[in-house]
Structure 1
Amino acid sequence: MKRILIFSGTTEGRQLADILDASGICADVCVATGYGHEVMTEGQYRNIYTGRLTEEEMKEFMQKGDYAAIVDATHPYAVVVSSNIRQASAQAGLPYYRLRRTLQSAGDDSDVIYVKSQQECVRALEQTSGNILLTTGSKELHCYCENETLRERLFVRVLPGTESIEICHKNGILGRQIIAMQGPFSEEMNLALLHQYQIRYMVTKESGASGGFSEKISAAKKAGVSVFVIENPEAENGEQKENLEEILQEIERLTGKHIRRKQMQVSLVGIGMGNTKLITEEAAERIKGADLLFGAKRLLDAVPAQWNVAAERLPYYLAKDILPCLDDAGEKSGKAIFHAVILFSGDTGFYSGAEKMMQALQGRENTEVSVCPGISSVSYLAARSGNSWQDAKIVSLHGTDQMERLIKKAGMREKVFVITSGVSDVREIGKRLIECGLKETTVTVGYALSYPAEQIKTLSPEECMQLTDEGLYTCLIQNQRISGEKKNSDPKFLTHGLPDDAFCRDKVPMTKEEVREAAICKMHLTPDAVVYDIGSGTGSIAVEMARLSDNLTVYAIERKQEAVALIEKNCTKYGLANVKVICGEAPGALTGLPVPTHAFIGGSNGSLKEILTDLYRKNPRMRVVVTAITLETVGAVSSILNEFPVEQEEIIQMSVSRAKKAGRYHLMQAENPVFILSFYFAGGTES
């Protein structure tokens, strides 16, 4: 497919190149300077060539390439360059299109003086006094520097490229007179510069919207500054003129490809914790190229103003506030491609609002969404404290009550990273760790990470309770007991199956190992189940279930005080914060407990019907498993179940025999047979 050759160096040229690239149309872009190359990013379908060309060199370039057309998108004041491009195109026999800039009126204000040329402007300024802000670039700077008195009054705003700075120095402009910045600039930025340098006169070209012309004029009016406007030298009559839409139509005709017109490019950008040193280069590039910046005020403040003085900054971070602004900006903008950046703290994929924002932006017409990741506070704290985090659990306390889940994980995991909402969360963590018998844990507390006030301390739970400084905290809880067990204990198995002698039992009855494992299998547990273990005994069933998932919660209900003490002892032995021991007799002891998803009934003390009635009232769709050792109990359960709607009902009998050594022989010794009854309640949803 034939290519399009664009001579650029302007905002309009960059916009055209971006549109063609997004539409899959190949283009070669010629820019005069290295800075022009720097701001014209590489694309999938375009190549960029840097350097000034003579008319003859332009013709040779055109003849070597397989081009469908030439587009002249150079600056409106680059009259000689445009003439050379036009002549070279004619000699190469290629269609030539001039992409013109739409001009803006400065009004009829008496403080706006139009002049035909730079020389006329110099003569007019020589009749004035006071500081001058020159915004016409570096190319014609020499015109203003020949008069030493005039040169000393100048403050020149030029592009921040090496070539521009060298021209300033060559013409005797001192460092204090140079303002090297990339425009266009907002009215506020222009106004600040006019005040900062006590400007009396501003010189500008008739540069149009993309050159920030109206913002210069409005700022000058507010500051009481007179403006000299150098008129656009391009002839108004007798010369071919095209706007962007007309040129796009011609390129469609020549290439046979449909071109996507206005586009909204939205970048979801993670900026880490706030220190600009931790913002990735990719994120910085997106921010610097944005037309509109969104984010919480704290995040907007973290982005240096000089990174992008032209972009409007809006302190919004919710989709309901951002989407209307995007629609409005897209309509008002004269740009073919509009860039918006939405800032997020930390990393976009880590407890971030970026996911919801992505969902809200999906399906929007002519909108492209990309994600730029950042550095999370967890990875930062891990690095600063010398820890890894690939083997840790991570909990966020933002917005929801996750404290219970956090304490469960802290009791069962060697490392848990915590994203907190402030110092009150850290104090509560210390308090809850102590209450759950986890005094041996240490808490590495990261305060104001990446900021000058950063502090990283390793504290005990008691010391956490004494913290007072408000601010942002990320913590690492390390359970030294779990760490020691990993070094000195057997490997963790993928299934439940602790031997009977792994439990403290004294004289309290305990469900035997094989029956225990079969009964737990019949429970059909889910990772976040809420389980009642009624008649818990030694807590062996509760302990084995709780060890399966730290998101699972078991309520061990037991009426005998000595058994309650054993359950607590066994839970402490295995560091289980997700077992809650309830001393009392069911069903009364069930009052006030969270709604269960599962129940295991190992003992009912004659209150089985009442217990089942209460369970059915709490959750008419729950899973229940009952164990029994007598036929009478099995008969009673079967009779009671006739009064409830149940499904997937199953009754099995287990007989287990164990080998006992008798001298050189092994004799099988039978355990008492046990019945396991399992079912789901099949009722409807409670009203």
Structure 2
Amino acid sequence: MSRIELIGVSGTALAAEQWPLLRRCAAIVASHRHRLLVADLPQPVIDIAPVEAMLNRVETALDEGDVAVLASGDPLFYGIGRNLIGRFGPERLTVRPALSALQLACARFRIPWDDLALLSCHGRLADNLSGRILRHPRSMLFTDGRNSPNRVAAELLDALAACEDTGRIAAIRIRVAENLGLGDEHLTGGSLAEIAARSFGPLNMMLIEQPSWPSPPPFGLGEDEIVHSRGLITKDEVRAATLHRLRLPATGVLWDIGGGSGSISLEASRLCPDLAIRIVEKREAEQANIRANIRRFGAYSIRLVGGEAPEALAGLPAPDRVFIGGSGQRLEAIIEAAAARLADNGRMVINAVLARTETAALTCLERLGMRVSASTLAVSRRLPGDEIRAFNPITLITGDKR
């Protein structure tokens, strides 16, 4: 059975031992840049992109003999190796890696990389990028022409400025390594604003560094730790039950409508840091509290949307989960708008204090064809001196989209 020789390339030349492998292959896969390295060989050269077309052509070429695939650095590290293994199986590949771009970048920056957070937006959507980056003291980012270092820096700057986080803006430092191993290799460093103002080529690695910030446990924030107004905050016990009801996915989008202090979203962001969260809140005092809490906990997977639902929901990414903690007498309209955008098999949770809110929510969810359940939670606390304080019961209503 013919095989695939997956060959990592560092720099601008092939190693001497790689030439015999290439000469015996029936075809060679290469990017535009690597085509120049094999221009003198007689074999047909298959473009590495688009990937699906390349895989189809490799499958055909394997009927004629072995196929060589040239890839930058280590092709198993955010590289084409994953696609080849997925299509042809690991037993059909021989992998000959070169130094990865990560190794080269860390060598140029003279830093260890065993404790780096490794992130990639190469050929990927960059949604929730600020949340993914800002929770780590040090992140190394694989960028591309679309998600370039200046665009990433600008996005981080916008997210931090929106929450008035001047301390983090001043503390973050960025280094960029362009065209590693090539003749025009270049290193750049600076602040968020300085990097956002520059332009970069598509081949680079981006290091984002910031001081370590104090961090509480991933679940179980206390009411006294969260900035809120006049006691208007989801109680700890209710928050825990609500998060259980939400059954949060690891990735996707959560809408928190009528967010108040943002306590539900704060816990969600720490439990599921890759979840993109949108808090919709119309009151300016509560918006200020949400900004303060995002700063305090570095919860930049949360984005505040100032405005009133359902109108404020229009431009948001479609949700996988929806939590409605406040509706401002517009509950039915909010449920209808959220349900229309909710992903299949998505879930909506509504916390109701008043009986009429509970009745309206149940009726509306059932009318929309959702699978509905509800439970009522009564919380009491024993205070110093054995005094018992009972809180108003809250009904947690769940609607699953079928």
TM-score, shorter chain, exceeding 0.5: yes
The corresponding residue for 1:630 is 354
Task: Give the corresponding residue for 1:554.
Answer: 277
Secondary structure at the residue paired with 1:519? helix
Distance 1:620 1:455 in 2: 44
Indicate how the Cα distance of structure 1 residues 670 and 349 shifts in structure 2: closer, same or farther if over 3 A, else same. same
Name 1:371's counterpart in structure 2. 95
Deviations 1:173-219 (A, max 9, x none): xxxxxxxxxxxxxxxxxxxxxxxxxxxxxxxxxxxxxxxxxxxxxxx
Structure 1 counterpart SS, 2:271: coil
- The C-alpha deviation readout for 1:393-423, integer Å capped at 9, x for no partner, is 3333333332x33222122222222222249
2:182 aligned with 1:451: yes
Q: Is the 8 A contact 2:55 2:84 kept in 1?
A: no
Matched, 1:523 2:250: no
Task: Return the alpha-carbon distance in structure 2 between the equivalents of residues 362 and 420 of structure 1.
Answer: 28
Residues 165-564 of structure 1 correspond to what in structure 2 (within 5 A)? 264-272=2-10, 274-276=11-13, 286-287=21-22, 290=25, 292-302=27-37, 312=43, 314=45, 316-318=47-49, 320=53, 338-361=65-88, 368-402=92-126, 404-422=127-145, 425-437=148-160, 438-439=168-169, 440-468=171-199, 470=201, 472-480=203-211, 483-485=212-214, 489-490=215-216, 492-493=217-218, 496-507=219-230, 509-564=232-287
User: d(CA) in 2 for partners of 1:668 and 1:282?
Assistant: 79
User: Hey, what's the Cα distance between the residues in 2 that align with 1:626 and 1:660?
Assistant: 29
2:336 maps to 613
Q: Partner of 1:670 in structure 2?
A: 390
SS in 1 for 2:47: coil
The 2-side partners of 1:295 and 1:575 are apart by: 42
**Amino acid corresponding to residue 558 of structure 1 in structure 2:** E
Residues 229, 286 of structure 2: 8 Å contact kept: no
Q: Per the alignment, do residues 650 and 324 of structure 1 end up closer, same or farther by CA in structure 2, a change over 3 Å counting? A: closer
Q: Distance in 2 between matches of 1:472 and 1:478?
A: 20
Contact 1:429–1:461 (CA under 8 A) maintained in structure 2: no
CA contact (8 A) 1:293 1:311 kept: no
- State the Cα distance separating 1:618 from its structure 2 match: 1.9
More relative contact order in 1 or in 2 (CA 8 Å, sep 6+)? Answer: 2
Shift of residue 630, structure 1, vs aligned partner: 2.8
Deviation at 1:583, TM superposition (A): 1.7
Cα deviation per residue 1:487-514 (whole Å; 9 max; x = unaligned)? xx55x44xx2101111111326111111
Q: Report if the CA contact (8 A) 2:310-2:337 is conserved.
A: yes
Whether the 8 Å CA contact 2:350–2:397 is kept in 1: the answer is yes
Q: Deviations over 1:424-449 (max 9, x none)?
A: 71111221121111523211211221
Q: Which residue of the partner structure matches residue 595 of structure 1? A: 318
Kindly indicate whether the alpha-carbon contact (under 8 Å) linking 1:268 and 1:371 is maintained by their aligned counterparts in 2: yes
- Residues 285, 506 of structure 1: CA spacing in aligned structure 2 closer, same or farther, 3 A cutoff? farther
CA–CA distance in structure 2, aligned partners of residues 592 and 673 of structure 1: 34
Identify the residue that residue 583 of structure 1 maps to in structure 2. 306
**Which residue of the partner structure matches residue 164 of structure 2?**
none
Q: Residues 283 and 459 from structure 1, CA distance in 2 versus in 1: closer, same or farther, beyond 3 angstroms?
A: farther
Cα gap change, 1:282 to 1:368, in 2 (>3 Å): farther
Aligned partners of 1:448 and 1:454 also within 8 Å = yes
State how far apart, in whole Å, the 1-side matches of 2:254 and 2:66 are.
Answer: 52
> For the Cα contact (< 8 Å) 1:587–1:610, is it kept in 2?
yes
Letter in 2 for 1:436: A
Q: Which runs of 5+ in 2 are unaligned?
A: 161-167
Summarize the alignment of residues 156-167 of structure 1 with structure 2, pairs less than 5 Å apart.
none
- Deviation digits for residues 644-680 of structure 1 (CA, Å, limit 9, x no counterpart): 3122x32222222223223xxx333223322212221
Deviation at 1:627, TM superposition (A): 1.1
- Corresponding residue of 1:680: 400
Q: Do 1:393 and 1:409's aligned partners in 2 also have CA atoms closer than 8 Å?
A: no
Aligned residues: 391
Root-mean-square deviation (CA, aligned residues, Å) is 3.1
Deviation at 1:325, TM superposition (A): 7.8
Change (3 A) 1:585 1:386: same
Cα distance in structure 1, aligned partners of 2:89 and 2:9:
22
Where does 1:52-131 land on structure 2 (aligned, <5 Å)?
A: none
Return closer, same or farther for 1:390/1:282 CA change in 2, 3 Å cut-off: farther
1:133 corresponds in structure 2 to: none
- Distance in 2 (alpha carbons) for counterparts of 1:606 and 1:423: 43
Residue 291 of structure 2 aligns with an amino acid whose one-letter code is E
Distance in 2 (alpha carbons) for counterparts of 1:343 and 1:531: 41
Change (3 A) 1:669 1:427: same
- Rg larger in 1 or in 2? 1
Shift in Å, 1:271: 1.7
**Cα separation, partners in 2 of 1:426 and 1:620, compared to 1, 3 Å:** closer
User: SS of the counterpart of 2:7?
Assistant: strand
Alignment check: 8 A CA contact 1:564 1:581 kept: yes
Alignment partners' CA distance in 2, 1:591 and 1:548: 27
SS at structure 1 position matched to 2:318: coil
Structure 2 contact 121–144 (Cα < 8 Å) conserved:
yes
CA distance in 1, matches of 2:138, 2:19: 33
